Amino acid sequence: MKLRQFFGTTALTAALAASAPAMAWSLKEAAAPYAGTEIDVVFLLRPGYEAIEAMLPEFEEETGITVNIIKHPYENALGEQVRDFVAGGDLDIALIDLVWIGNFAENEWIVSVDEIMEKYPDIIDPDLDMDDFFPLVLNAFGGWNGTIYGLPFDNYSGLLFYNRCMLEEAGFDGPPETWTDLKDVYGPALTGDGKYAFALQSKRNETQSADSFARVIWPFGGSFLDADFRSNLMSEESQAGLKFRQDLMQYMPDGIVAYDHAETVNAFAQGDVAMITEWSAFYSTVVSPDTSRVADCVEIAPEPVGPAGRKPALGGFSLAVASQAGEAEQAAAWLFIQWATSKANAGEYLERGGVPARQSAYADPALAETYKFIPALVESWQDGVPEFRPRFAEWPEITEIVQEWGTKMMLGEVTTEEGAQEIGERMEAVLEDAGYYSGDKPLAQ
C-alpha cells in the first residue's frame, strides 16, 4: 500500500514532466493566476527558516505571491497550529514536525501531494523529482500511512559533534565508534577539572523524549512499542539503553536534566564539553567563531553505534498545503513549498544555513570540505528509523508521559524499571482509548 501510493506520486510527477508542453514550465507563468495572493505559514526561530526567509524576496518578486511568516519557538508551534486549524483560521501551510504528521493527516488538516497534483496540474514543476528526496526523509517527515502530504523542508539527523582538540589532548585520534566506547573509554579520559566528556540534552520537553530517551533505546535494540503496539520499554534491550544513559550521566555536567539544545550547544561551543549528539541544524552555530570558542576544533561524525547498529536520532519538518486554505491560497502555498524544497534552490539553501533533503544537493564531494556534516548526515539518512518517535496522533499525549518519567529516571527518583513500567501502562491506556487494541485504528506509527 505504502509503496503503491509512493510510486503513484512519483509516476504522476513523471507523467506531468513527460506531458509538459513544448514551452518550458516557469514559476512566473505558473504563478501568474495567483499573483497578489497572500499565504500564511508558521516558521521556527532556527537557521533553516532564516535561510529560506532570506531567499524569499526572490520568490515574491517572481510570483507576486506574498508569504506572511509567523514565527514561533518550537514549543509553541504545534499548539498555535492546532488552534488555528481547529478554529478554521488563516494558515495556508502546515509546518509539520515528523511526530505531528499522523495528527495532522488524521484530522484532515493537510492535503496530500497527489490531491494537489490532480487539482492543480498546471502548477506542478516538471522538475519536482520526488525521487530526489532521501526516501527515508520524505517518508518519515512528509508521509503518513502510505500517503505523501508534505515535502521535507527543515531536515535533521542526529550527529556526533566532537572537539578534535580536546580528544587529541586526551590521546584520541578520532571519535568513539560505539556508545560503549564513548562511556567506558572516552568518558573517564575526558571528564575532570570542570570539563565533561559528553552532554545529552534532557530537558523535560520534547528534548527529553526525542534527544535523550529515544536516542538511547534504539541503538541498544529497544523501542517504544512492539509489533502489537504494546509497550516494549520493559524489554531487555530497552532497559539496557536506559541503564546505559544512567551510567553515562557521570560524564555529563551536573543538572543535565535542565539542558535544552541551547545549553548543550553552548557548553560544547564554550569548550566545556568534548562531545554532544545534536541535530545537524546546529552546525552553523558551532563552527562560527562568532558563536563558538572551539570553531576550529569542531569535527562531525555519525552518532555512535550500539549493539543494534547505528540508529541515529531522526527529526525534521515538512511543509504541506492546509486543507482550510482557499483554492488560490492552496495553489500559492504549493508553489511556495515546491520552490522552497526544489532541487534548484537546494544549493543556496545549504549555503545560507539550511539543510536540504535533496540527494542531488550533496552529490558534489567537494561540498564535504565546506560542510563537514555532510558525509555523516548522508550516512545517517541511510540508517534512520522513521518511527524513532511514533508519529501517530497520540504522540502529544505520550510524549508528556515519557518526558515526566524519563526525567524522574535521570534524577534517580525512580529506577529505569519503575519508570518504564509507568510509561508503559500510561502509554497503553492512551493507545487503548484511541482504539488501537480494539481494531478501530490501524497499527500505524
All three cell numbers of 391: 508519529
Inter-CA distances, 419 with 215, 237, 245, Å: 17, 15, 13
Q: Considering the complex, state which of residue 181 and residue 404 has its C-beta at the smaller distance from another protein.
A: 404
Residues facing residue 300 across a β-bridge? 161
**CA 104 – CA 318 distance, rounded (Å):** 12
Residue 83 CB, shortest distance to another protein, in Å, is 7
Q: At its nearest, how many Å lie between another protein and the CB of residue 295? A: 20
Strands 38-44 and 151-163: unpaired
Give Cα separations from 63 to 32, 56, 124, 439 (angstroms): 7, 11, 14, 47
Give the closest residue to 261 by CA, choosing from 47, 41, 81.
47
Q: For another protein, give the closer residue by CB, 79 or 442.
A: 79
Angle at 342 between CA 337 and CA 348, to 5 degrees: 110
* Cβ nearer to another protein, comparing 9 with 103: 103
Crossing angle of the two packed helices 395-410 and 416-434, in degrees rounded to 10: 170
Which residue, 81 or 232, has its beta carbon nearer to another protein?
Answer: 81
Residue 243 in grid coordinates: 541503564
Q: Is 353 helix (H, G, I), strand (E, B) or coil?
A: coil
> Smallest distance from the beta carbon of 104 to another protein, in angstroms?
9
Q: Site residues (CB under 8 A) for another protein? A: 78-79, 82-83, 86, 103, 107, 203-205, 254-259, 272, 393, 396-397, 400, 404, 407-408, 410-411, 413
CB of 425 vs another protein, minimal distance in Å = 13
CA distance 244 to 213: 11
Of the pair 215, 408, the CB lying nearest another protein is at: 408
3-state SS class at 120:
coil
CB of 139 to another protein, least distance (A): 22
We find the least distance from the C-beta atom of residue 147 to another protein, in angstroms, to be: 19
Cell of 291: 558563536
Which residue lies nearer to another protein by CB, 15 or 429? 429
Distance CA 239, CA 259 (A): 23
Report the nearest approach of another protein to the CB of residue 426 (Å): 10
Question: Based on CB atoms, which residue is closest to another protein, 184 or 272?
Answer: 272
